[in-house]
Amino acid sequence: MVSSLLALPSTFSRLNLVQKSSIFIPFTFKALSLLKFHKQPRLRPFNYRLLHFPSSLNSPEAHFSTSRRPVSSKSFDVDLVVLGIETSCDDTAAAIVRGNGEILSQVVSSQADLLARYGGVAPKMAEEAHSQVIDQVVQDALDKASLTERELSAVAVTIGPGLSLCLRVGVQKARRVAGSFNLPIISVHHMEAHALVARLIEKELQFPFLALLISGGHNLLVLAHDLGHYTQLGTTIDDAIGEAFDKTAKWLGLDMRKSGGPAVEQLAQEGDAESVRFSIPMKQHKDCNFSYAGLKTQVKLAIASRNIDAKVPLSCASSLDRSSRADIAASFQRVAVLHLEERCERAVEWALKIEPSIKHLVVSGGVASNQYVRARLDQVVQKYSLQLVCPPPNLCTDNGVMIAWTGIENFRVGRYDPPPPANDPDDFMYDLRPRWPLGEEYAEGRSEARSLRRARVHPSLTSLVQASLQQQ
């Protein structure tokens, strides 16, 4: 019975309840999975410790419960060692983090050269690039931490949102490692990870807090009530800000090898931010949603009207040409960030109404590496006596640390799945969630301008966690 359940596809204790609740009752499964842990001949001391965790945490229900009380003690935190794997887009990343937040290793293999060549992410090529390096990236993370798989406590992996082909590479690898070494596995929401990594660096950061998550594919304002519980205040109706930075860099003929954002930020320092009058998106919409497609078009038109030739690299441009490109970069950056500022102000007001105790705005995701973004948003939060929390740049862009850390946060409250079988069958259906909201939309904030496609969207992380809590 246990083995037949374990042979079934995908993970579920944390996330799959809505899809599979008619077949699997989580507690039954959780109790069975605990049995499996008991039976394993290769149990390492860590798992025993978990099973014998003090007092009330000793029963299967308590052990797997989604109670919010953190399972935490100094020795528990030090002994908990989690491998995090991230392949949702164009970075292949792995890291090993201890339960106390100590980062033992961090490895990122970037596909920036592909991005530079094609000006965007091509899923099939990105998948191949992930497949080529994933084993090495994970091995390097282990080597840098001076650990073997046997010394890990669990494996955390991004299952969405992102590109299916890319997510699959990471999930396959995570399951191979977890299955071969009898490790629990934790399914991670990529955007939750961007938000929660702030709690690794800022230990004072408690729920609830407001988060602005800005990257190449996402532009989200969420109110984080608790682990696994988010209200979406705003999202983009078309492109994300990082995409606008990347296209601006490409059309300005900048060096994209470190992605477009840093190149635009650097050139913007030379330019006059008031020189090109771009209009601020969505001024007439009094909500917290974003739009960057129109600004991209404005930038494209401004570049065309100044006869800037993207084929001429910046290093070869005349000084007049260079300063004209710098003016566009600076003006674009100013307006792109003004749009963020405006939405954040409104979001802070909404958030204070819903959760008056919030004290922090977390800004994370690749674009949060931008110093101008940080400085401007710092001014916004100061008006409301809130504190801005931005992870360091290498934890803002996609990385394995945030996945491992989110795994740790979930593991502590019992949200994880038992070790998968050592080998998945060839026709195994992986649980991947390419389009997966973090939380439900804030009803009062729903915009008429929203035209998001709703097809094939997974139930939000929040709704799944809430369903799981209700079933207990």
Residue numbers at the binding site for Mg ion (CB under 5 A): 215, 398
> Minimum distance between the CB of residue 197 and ligand ADP, rounded to whole angstroms?
11
215, 232, 410, 466: residue in contact with ligand ADP (rule CB under 6 A)? 215
Q: Does 391 interact with ligand ADP (rule: CB under 6 A)?
A: no
Q: Which two structure tokens, joined as six digits, stand for 318?
A: 């005349």
Strand arrangement, sheet containing 103-110: 103-110, 91-98, 81-86, 154-160, 185-189
160, 253, 260, 420: residue in contact with ligand ADP (rule CB under 6 A)? 260
Choose the binding region for ligand ADP from 17-25, 290-298, 349-357, 367-375 (rule: CB under 6 A): 367-375
**Residue 262 vs 281, nearer CB to ligand ADP:** 262
Q: With beta carbons less than 8 A apart as the criterion, state whether 239 and 228 touch.
A: no
Nearest to 227 by CA among 94, 71, 383: 71
Q: With beta carbons less than 8 A apart as the criterion, state whether 253 and 311 touch.
A: yes
> Minimum distance between the CB of residue 399 and Mg ion, rounded to whole angstroms?
9
DSSP state of 296: H
DSSP state of 258: T
**Residue 234 vs 445, nearer CB to ligand ADP:** 234
Choose the binding region for ligand ADP from 257-265, 279-287, 448-456, 459-467 (rule: CB under 6 A): 257-265
Q: Which does 160 bind (CB under 5 to 8 A by kind): ligand ADP, Mg ion, none?
A: none
Number of shown-chain residues binding ligand ADP (CB under 6 A) = 20
Q: Does 216 interact with ligand ADP (rule: CB under 6 A)?
A: yes
Choose the binding region for ligand ADP from 163-171, 337-345, 363-371, 419-427 (rule: CB under 6 A): 363-371
Q: Does 369 interact with ligand ADP (rule: CB under 6 A)?
A: yes
Phi, psi of 220 (to 5 degrees): -125, 140
Q: Does 219 interact with ligand ADP (rule: CB under 6 A)?
A: no
* Dihedral of alpha carbons 120, 124, 130, 132, sign: negative
Separation of CA 10 from chain center: 20
> Minimum distance between the CB of residue 301 and ligand ADP, rounded to whole angstroms?
21
Burial tier of 301 (Cβ tally within 10 Å: 0-12, 13-18, 19+): exposed
* Cα 465 to Cα 470: distance, rounded to the nearest angstrom: 9
Q: Does 271 interact with ligand ADP (rule: CB under 6 A)?
A: no
Q: Which two structure tokens, joined as six digits, stand for 183?
A: 């490790």
Q: How many helices (H) and strands (E) does the chain have?
A: 18, 11
Q: Which does 228 bind (CB under 5 to 8 A by kind): ligand ADP, Mg ion, none?
A: none
Burial tier of 337 (Cβ tally within 10 Å: 0-12, 13-18, 19+): buried
* Dihedral of alpha carbons 132, 133, 136, 139, sign: negative
Q: Which residue has the tokens 């792995």?
A: 94
Q: Which does 105 bind (CB under 5 to 8 A by kind): ligand ADP, Mg ion, none?
A: none
84, 179, 234, 262: residue in contact with ligand ADP (rule CB under 6 A)? 262
Q: Does 89 interact with ligand ADP (rule: CB under 6 A)?
A: yes
Instruction: State the binding string over 223-252 for ligand ADP (x if CB under 6 A, else -).
Output: -------------------x--xx------
> Minimum distance between the CB of residue 315 and Mg ion, rounded to whole angstroms?
29
C-alpha separations of 234 from 204, 346, 373, 413 in Å: 25, 10, 18, 28
Instruction: State the binding string over 90-119 for ligand ADP (x if CB under 6 A, else -).
Output: x-----------------------------
Q: Which does 260 bind (CB under 5 to 8 A by kind): Mg ion, ligand ADP, none?
A: ligand ADP
Strand partners, 214: 219
* Cα 195 to Cα 55: distance, rounded to the nearest angstrom: 32
Q: Does 261 interact with ligand ADP (rule: CB under 6 A)?
A: yes
Q: Which two structure tokens, joined as six digits, stand for 426?
A: 């060839």
* Cα 173 to Cα 177: distance, rounded to the nearest angstrom: 6
> Minimum distance between the CB of residue 245 and ligand ADP, rounded to whole angstroms?
4
> Minimum distance between the CB of residue 112 and ligand ADP, rounded to whole angstroms?
10
Indicate the residue type of 267: L
Q: Does 170 interact with ligand ADP (rule: CB under 6 A)?
A: no
Q: Which residues bind ligand ADP (CB under 6 A)?
A: 89-90, 215-217, 242, 245-246, 259-262, 265, 365-367, 369-370, 397-398
